[in-house]
Amino acid sequence: MALIKKFKIEDYKDQKTIVELKNISVFYNKRQILDNLNLKINKQEILGMLGPNGVGKSTIFNLITGLKDPNYGEIIIDGINSTSLPINERFTKFKLGLVPQYGGIIQELTLLDNLKLVAEIHIKEKDLREIKIEKIISQFEFQPLLNIKSKYLSGGQKKKLVIAMALVNDPKILLLDEPFAALDILTIKMLQEIIINLQSTEEISIVVCDHQARDLLNCVTRAIVLSNGRIIASGSPKEVISDRVAKSEYFGDEFNIN
Ligand SMILES: Nc1ncnc2c1ncn2[C@@H]1O[C@H](COP(=O)(O)OP(=O)(O)OP(=O)(O)O)[C@@H](O)[C@H]1O
Ligand SMILES: [Mg+2]
């Protein structure tokens, strides 16, 4: 694998909002998870979400895709109130791509067949489908793994496959739930580079959450930190790590990035 240079992340601060969570509250069995949360995701930004286990990061992805309905509040996607829009309509209408925290592949199919399956769902023309699959195989260095049943892939190889599958339909809004978990150092670098290249070459908005805070903060344009159902800090990576509340509730005093 080639060595990867330091990334250059474009900042698109003034872009329009693509997803807005408005006054969102979520409860599970009377336990409040999100508390009147307001979050705007801008076009072409790479937004990083940080926060402790169980704070509601995956829940936010589920609200955007429609896997979870909020108890209160609205979800606006590309200017359209989508709060009641079914999952499949959201995926096709707004070109959502999701890398779920767990699962996302068919274990009994080979790596190649998993890729072909999503390509057949999203790309009608055979030639374009094949071009796309070839591009992904080379980008992710999948060649030696094509005919292995997915259940036999290593944890990191599975994760790479799920990420690759989310890119098949050229998503406009890409949601990555812990993409760095289980990946080795060079594969994390490769994924960071893919994320940043996507942002600079396509009109895409990316939301990524991960507990590898350093890896995450090195490839986002903006970050938010969640605690007790609310956003306690928002800003550039440097701004959030020096935020007093975020330090005391999430990062601690020692945390730093390059
Ligand atoms: N179906 C459910 N029924 C009851 N509680 C749930 C359900 N789904 C999620 N929760 C609770 O909602 C909270 C938020 O969960 P969520 O998965 O969004 O957290 P998270 O921030 O993604 O955590 P992690 O970093 O561990 O992945 C947790 O306390 C979880 O136990
Ligand atoms: Mg989660």
59 CB under 6 A from ligand 1?
yes
pLDDT at 6: 54
Full DSSP string of 154-190: -HHHHHHHHHHHHHTT--SEEEEESTTTT--HHHHHH
Burial annotation 155-170 (CB, 10 A radius, 16+ → b, else e): eebbbbbbbbbbbbbe
Q: Of 55, 98, 225, 228, which is best to mutate to test ligand 1, by the most ligand atoms within 8 angstroms of its C-beta? A: 55
For residue 119, pLDDT over 60 is answered with yes
| DSSP state letter for 29 | T
Q: What residue segments make up the domains of the chain, in order of their start?
A: 10-95+171-251, 104-169
The burial class, CB within 10 Å (0-12 / 13-18 / 19+), for 112 is middle
User: Which band of pLDDT confidence, cut at 50, 70 and 90, is reported for residue 1?
Assistant: very low
pLDDT at 198: 86
For residue 230, pLDDT over 90 is answered with yes
**Ligand 1 atom at shortest distance from the alpha carbon of 31:** 5
Tell whether pTM > 0.85: yes
**What is the whole-number distance in angstroms between the Cα of residue 183 and the centre of ligand 2?**
17
The ligand minimizing its distance to the Cα of 49 is 1
Higher pLDDT, 55 or 156: 55
10-95+171-251: CATH topology: Rossmann fold (3.40.50)
pLDDT at 254: 86
Lowest average pLDDT, out of 10-19, 126-135, 210-219, 247-256, goes to 10-19
Q: Which amino acid is at 238?
A: K
d(CA 120, CA 89): 18
User: Which band of pLDDT confidence, cut at 50, 70 and 90, is reported for residue 194?
Assistant: confident
Q: Which amino acid is at 88?
A: N
